[in-house]
């Protein structure tokens, strides 16, 4: 499944971060975050994020990355 990720900027707008692909057809945000992080040279920046799967349910799901770089989904 393909996931689209965006990060909220200080002005409230959303910055596109890119796409991540997971194996299978399951909506697995954890696997998608790991796939996205694999494309970065460091942890994801702290802040608010949103993700969706254009292939499945296209509703945005919101999450947050803490100071340690851990992603937590806020709505499930």
Question: pTM, whole model, 2 decimals?
Answer: 0.85
Label each residue of 14-56 as H, E or C. EEEEEEEECCCCCCCHHHHHHHHHCCCCCCCCCEEEEEECCCC
In this prediction, residue 8 has a pLDDT band, given cuts at 50, 70 and 90, of: very high
Range(s) of the domain holding residue 54: 2-73
pLDDT beyond 90 at 6: yes
Number of domains making up the chain: 1
**Residues 30-37: contacts with CB within 8 Å, 24+ apart?**
30/71, 32/1, 32/3, 32/5, 33/63, 33/71, 35/3, 36/3, 36/5, 37/69
In this prediction, residue 40 has a pLDDT band, given cuts at 50, 70 and 90, of: confident
The reported pLDDT for the residue numbered 76 is: 59
The reported pLDDT for the residue numbered 41 is: 76
Tally the residues of the chain.
Answer: 76
């Amino acid at each position: 499944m393909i996931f689209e990720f965006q990060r909220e900027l200080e002005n409230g707008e959303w910055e596109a971060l890119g796409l991540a692909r997971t194996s299978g057809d399951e909506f697995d945000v954890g696997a998608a975050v790991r796939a996205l992080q694999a494309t970065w040279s460091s942890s994801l920046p702290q802040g608010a994020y949103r993700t969706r799967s254009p292939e499945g349910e296209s509703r945005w799901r919101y999450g947050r990355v803490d100071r340690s770089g851990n992603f937590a989904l806020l709505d499930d």
